[in-house]
Amino acid sequence: MNVLLIGAPGSGKSTQGDRLSQRLGLEHIAAGDRLRAEATAGTPLGKEIATYLDRGELVPDQLVIDLILPAVLAAAQGNGYILEGFPRSVGQATRALAGQAGAGPDVVMASCGDVPTMESLAATALLRQHLPDVKVRFVNVVDLFKLVPHTEHPHGMTDREFEALFTATQPVVFNFHSYPWLIHRLTYRRPGQHHIHVRGYKEKGNINTPLELAIRNQTDRFSLAIDAIDRIPRFLDVASGFREALLNEQIECKNHAYEFGIDRADITDWKWPF
């Protein structure tokens, strides 16, 4: 499982990265911290990095790539990573996200908000457990203005930067903690905008448990996993049994909540399994 945090400076990427790292057991790779540590260590690469840091200048793309990309590739061979502060430019993004795997993802699972992020992570875990060869890219958005074109907001990304994260051709299942139309407005005219499918609040709910409320608004782990399956052509036939199992599991969770007034323990106590 690989998680990419995007957001403007001071938006909380480091804090969220630390929390996700502790909860999910993934390595937290913070580009800024790695650059400063390498400079302090005085390695040959660190000395070259230090010459730019001491002058208050941006470290050139190639030096950043030489330091961060090996750490990313190494972590990808293990449990995975939480990456923040990298890539910061089109050059970095092209090599880090397009080149490292040799092939793009089957689906991009994106999220914004604490509960939507947890449900998206749980959906991703379900996909990995039952479809081992699925390629999932997970993008956690902590600054919505990053979705806006850079010409419209100082936090915004260029189209090439946006495409490097979300792709221009693959389906994006975006789980959002508010109204879905907001994400569509922010990503209007972006590359692959027609491949972005947002799940969010539909003003459905009453006296519900958290999972019941998510199910009614189709922002729960089962709905998200089903949505991903339905948008990956190669799984339309082979994953039909898994899809049915997800629907049955969703029904069981709703029945449990209706009978006992709380969600099942495996839902409330869920942890990243990989």
pLDDT in tens, 186-221: 999 898 889 999 999 998 888 889 999 999 999 999
> Looking at 82, 112, 129, which one is the last position of a domain?
82
Domain-embedded: residue 104: yes
Domain-embedded: residue 174: yes
Judge if 43 and 56 occupy the same domain. Answer: yes
Judge if 110 and 62 occupy the same domain. Answer: no
Between β-strands 27-30 and 107-112, what pairing exists: parallel, antiparallel or unpaired? unpaired
pLDDT average, residue stretch 260-274: 93
Domain-embedded: residue 129: yes
Q: Which residues contact 255 (CB under 8 A, 6 or more apart)?
A: none
Residue 99: is its pLDDT beyond 60? no
pLDDT average, residue stretch 50-63: 87
Judge if 73 and 92 occupy the same domain. Answer: no
Q: Tally the C-alpha atoms within 13 A of residue 212's C-alpha that lie toward its C-beta.
A: 16
Lowest mean pLDDT among 52-56, 108-112, 144-148, 227-231: 52-56
Of the pLDDT bands very low, low, confident and very high (cuts 50, 70, 90), residue 111 is very high
Judge if 128 and 69 occupy the same domain. Answer: no
Of the pLDDT bands very low, low, confident and very high (cuts 50, 70, 90), residue 96 is low
pLDDT average, residue stretch 69-96: 77
3-state secondary structure 51-115: HHHHCCCCCCHHHHHHHHHHHHHHHHCCCCEEEECCCCCHHHHHHHHHHCCCCCCCEEEEEECHH
What length does the chain have?
Answer: 274
**pTM passes above 0.95:** no
Domain-embedded: residue 111: yes
Q: Which domain holds residue 189?
A: 87-268
pLDDT number for residue 117: 96
pLDDT number for residue 224: 98
Q: How many domains does the chain have?
A: 2
Judge if 117 and 191 occupy the same domain. Answer: yes
pLDDT number for residue 97: 56
Domain-embedded: residue 38: yes
Domain-embedded: residue 121: yes
Q: Tokens in use for 158?
A: 């260029």
Judge if 135 and 237 occupy the same domain. Answer: yes
Residue 1: is its pLDDT beyond 90? no
pLDDT number for residue 129: 92
Q: Which residues contact 274 (CB under 8 A, 6 or more apart)?
A: 1, 25, 79, 80, 125, 128
pLDDT number for residue 103: 56
pLDDT number for residue 249: 97
Judge if 115 and 37 occupy the same domain. Answer: no
Domain-embedded: residue 273: no
Of the pLDDT bands very low, low, confident and very high (cuts 50, 70, 90), residue 22 is confident
Judge if 37 and 102 occupy the same domain. Answer: no
Q: Tokens in use for 15?
A: 């804090």
